[in-house]
Structure 1
Amino acid sequence: MGLIPPLIAILLAFFSRSVFIALAMAVIVGEFIIADFHPLNTLLLTFERFYLLLSEGWVLKTLAFAIMVGSVMVLIERSGGVNGLVHELSVKRSIVKTKRGALMPSFIAGIIVFIESSITSLVAGAIGRPFCDRHGISRAKLAFVCDSTSAPVCSLIPLNGWGALLLGLIGGQISAGLIAGESATWLIQSIAYNFYAFMALIVTFIAIWYEIDIGPMRHATVHPPEIECEDAKGDIGLFLWPMVWMIGGVILFMFITGNGDIFKGSGSTSIFYTLLITLLLMLGYYRFKNTLTLSEFWDASLSGARSMSPIALILLFAFAIGGVSSDMEVGQYLASFIGDYLPSAYLAGAIFVLAAIIAFATGTSWGTFSIMLPIAIPLAVGLDAPVALAMGAAISGGVFGDHCSPISDTTIISAMASGCSVQEHTRTQLPYALIAAGFSFILFILFGVLLT
């Protein structure tokens, strides 16, 4: 029964035109099951679910982040920052001339900005949108690049909240006496076996470099470029400075909220205060440059906020379905399929598949890590299998499942940052993700055989 709500959400998201309806139906059905099919109790539980969510500081900050992102993007566009970026890279420096060149800046930004996955997608999307429209590349392909570099890179360079979570989970297994050593040492070893993250980056680079569109990506919507005046050169500083403030702000607040330790910083708090301060700095800077009046700044901010309000609502329901899945112990139910009868050589491959299913069904990689690492490590120890390989498989599976899930917050934010629908983004990126996952699965089986 626990699989019914996430399955409803995934199927409706794939085959309907409304992710919101898919998530809402899944939440209601899940609460109906939890309430033992009692209509009145279902209503009360649903109300309580959203009341508790909206009482959580991190939820409110994440929703505010989604809305403020819209304001930042519209302000950059109306101020002339987008025109300045296009003119600088396409005309002045002649760097972006082809379809390949149009996506490479986003790919590079996705790798460099590894401090927080949401900021990674935002920056990569903001950089790529004008170039994709200009060179006839679909926003869906840009969303694929944003999504394929955000979570994978954050899991490979864990100087962020991802690293903090993984270090904590590994430390719990060390404290329990299952493994010996330092958490950081084990994490570094597991990164070497995070095959899906590596394969996702390789597949993405190949798709960009050779301009490969497969499956639904061949039919993705291409947005026509905006008509510009001959002298619409803009000012690249109007684009770059907000990007610098956002990246630098997240790093600063991760240190502050972590009391000097970036691994312990709060991602939701960091991005909230970063966006808030960025908007204030943009107000001062844009007035100093005399690019927008106070009235124009306010109108652009409200316009951007309104455009992102539906996305914020979808994120809220995505958090709700995650809570329903947790209450129904979907992850634990799926994890019960792995037992002591599994040959140790195939353990890593099985962990990868199971973690992917859990992440896909629940829409959360972090939740999957929290479920699977405490299972994968004891299994590897008990079966005398490579522990670091099992860790890498759990992390890879979580990233892959989250990458593909239409109810994942990273999927939703990547679509938002790129300006395409969640449905189109999910359908078009799935073939690429499956290719990367297929190679990853082969590597987990191969290394499992070689190292056992």
Structure 2
Amino acid sequence: MEYGIWSVLPPIIAILLAVRTKQVFISLFAGVFTAELIISGFQPVTALNTSLNGIVGVFAEAWITKTIIFSFLVGAIITLIQASGGVEGFIHYLTIKTKTIKNKRGAMMLAYILGIVIFVESSITILVSGVVARPLTDKYKVSRENLAYICDSTSAPVCALIPLNGWGATLLGIIGVQVTAGVISGNPVEILVKSLPYQFYSMITILSVFFYIWTGKHWGPMKKAENRASKEGKLMRDGAIPLVSTDTTEIKTKEGVSPHMMNMLLPLIVLIFMIPFSLYITGNGNMMAGSGSTSVFWAVLGSLVFSGILYISKKIFTLNEYMNLFYKGVGGMVPVASLLIFAFAIGNSINTLGTGEYLASIVAGKVHGGFGPAIVFIISGIIAFSTGTSWGTFAIMIPIALQMSVAIDANIFAAIGAVVSGAIMGDHCSPISDTTILSSMASASDHIDHVETQLPYALLNALISTLLFLAVGFWG
């Protein structure tokens, strides 16, 4: 059944409510309920029942269950490396022993560099850069909103530009289907590589983050947040609620333990390098064909096992102390995991309504070839903003963009770059996006404050990207 314009209503309600009330749980549920109300033919009791069942039903999909468990387990890792003295030791090494980081710019550059070099998985990138850099950015009075922006804007863009990860595997699979179907011809790997120079939004975003860090020049809501942090010493606005339990942000090094940065670095190294290894295994020898969700799940488990052996063998913790901290860290992630469950639930409901397909159908086959890349970019952004998923946008828009490009004799590489750019842009702007939620969690920022301060920067980058796609469409 086609729901037409009605399919756009649930995400609009969820997003507007989230911005207006700053209560993301209630807003997401309102979006789910509205979607189910439309699907049920406006029968409230039925809609309430299917809404609750839909929230429980997200666990029917293995990758979603792994992602939610992953968020719990990451909370355990964060707590353990803090209590082991790893974070304190790392900060001591950078600020006192080597004096590598001496100021606010250096603290932000640490988060930026970690976001660039860790390109194996967007969630890992966000969490590592946020958790490791946060004590330093707090010390030098960087607003939590700014840290969330840095984490969010160096995760998906980097993973998309260096697709030796689950992002690359997903894009290759979608492109490969179009090659097999005869829509386009060529090698999927070669096609993906040739589309990378057209990921304008990703490149502009990475460069703009560097510009804001290096110059210290901000504008809009972010400028207000930075002025508040530097002049008043308030890392968050009064009344803001950090999207992480205070239990996990205030974990101190265990009494009697000498802080050492290797207590943090070794578990993180295992975590990071387990990703490509797991992609290789799950892809039967081909990293680009591996399972992203399974690889992340294995990596977190591997890191926890390794850290347990490391800390217990060094007599940092007893087994009971290790497990108590493990449970404390898991408990601290309950708000984040709950938000992810609701975000996935509204994503499933919106998928049933066909919101993405409806938005794409509005312009498919109705535009001049020169406008093609720019229109694909804008529609992909709207779909990702409305659904909260970049990968879902890839699945919807790449087939449409390629078929449209062939029909109007447009640049297919630019079309793929436009879809990826638009999907990441919409994801950055959306309060119901999982990566936006994780960025708020990693930086311990108020979620809606993060969305509101990042939005103007994302929209400016989107405007520049649109102009570049127009240039490619008409003169490229």
Q: TM-score, normalised by structure 1?
A: 0.95
Alignment partner of 1:322 is 2:356: no
Kindly tell me the number of residue pairs found equivalent between the two proteins: 450
Deviation per CA, 1:288-322: give whole Å up to 9, x if none. Answer: 22223334323322221111111101001100111
The residue aligned with 1:199 is 204
**Among candidates 8, 19, 24, match of residue 3 of structure 1:** 8
- In the alignment, the residues of structure 2 paired with residue 118 and residue 349 of structure 1 have an alpha-carbon distance, to the nearest angstrom, of 28
| Equivalent residue in structure 1 for 2:213, among 203, 208, 216 | 208
SS at match of 1:2: helix
Q: Secondary structure at the match of 1:59?
A: helix
**Which residues of 2 match residues 122-201 of structure 1 at below 5 A?**
122-201=127-206
Matches within 5 A, 1:282-361: 282-361=307-386
Q: Check 1:227–1:8 CA distance in 2 against 1; reply closer, same or farther (3 A cut).
A: closer
Aligned mates of 2:37, 2:308 — CA distance in 1: 47
For the Cα contact (< 8 Å) 2:364–2:400, is it kept in 1? no
**Contiguous gaps of at least 5 residues in structure 2:** 1-5, 237-248
| Pairwise CA RMSD | 1.9
Within the candidate set 239, 254, 265, 2:264 is matched to 239
Using the alignment, how far apart are the partners of 1:228 and 1:46 within structure 2?
A: 41
Deviates more, 1:135-144 or 1:49-58: 49-58
Mapped partners of 1:203, 1:150: distance in 2: 14
1:386 matched residue in structure 2: 411
CA contact (8 A) 2:383 2:423 kept: yes
Partners of 1:100 and 1:208 within 8 A in 2: yes
Q: Which residue of 2 aligns with 1:267?
A: 292
Q: CA deviation at 1:17?
A: 2.4
- The residue that corresponds to 2:387 in the other structure is 362
Partner of 2:452: 427
Per the TM alignment, residue 419 of structure 1 is displaced from its structure 2 partner at its CA by: 1.3
Displacement of 1:219 in angstroms is: 3.4
Q: Name the stretch that deviates more: 34-43 or 87-96.
A: 34-43
Q: CA deviation at 1:232?
A: 9.1
> Aligned equivalents of 2:306 and 2:251: distance in 1?
29
Residue 22 of structure 1 corresponds to: 27
Does 1:97 find its partner at 2:102? Answer: yes
Judge conservation of contact 2:257–2:316 (CA < 8 Å) in 1: no
- Give the corresponding residue for 1:61: 66
1:218 deviates by 2.8
1:219 to 214, 218, 224: 224
- In structure 2, C-alpha distance between the alignment counterparts of 1:404 and 1:233, rounded to whole Å: 42
- The 2-side partners of 1:292 and 1:141 are apart by 35
Aligned equivalent of 2:283, options 233, 258, 263 = 258
Cα distance, 1:274 vs structure 2: 1.7
Partner deviation per Cα, 1:121-171 (whole Å, 9 max, x = no partner): 111112211110110001221111111111111111111111111112111
**Could you tell me which residue of structure 1 aligns to residue 244 of structure 2?**
none
Deviations 1:395-451 (A, max 9, x none): 110111012111011111111111112212111111211121111111111111112
Deviations 1:362-403 (A, max 9, x none): 001111111111111111111111111111111110111012
Output one character per residue of 1:172-223: Cα deviation in whole Å (capped at 9) or x when no partner: 2222222211111111111110100000101111011112332222333644
Per-residue deviation at 1:233? 6.8
Shift of 1:273: 2.1
Aligned partners of 1:212 and 1:61: how far apart in 2?
Answer: 40
In structure 1, what is the Cα distance between the partners aligned to 2:63 and 2:183? Answer: 32
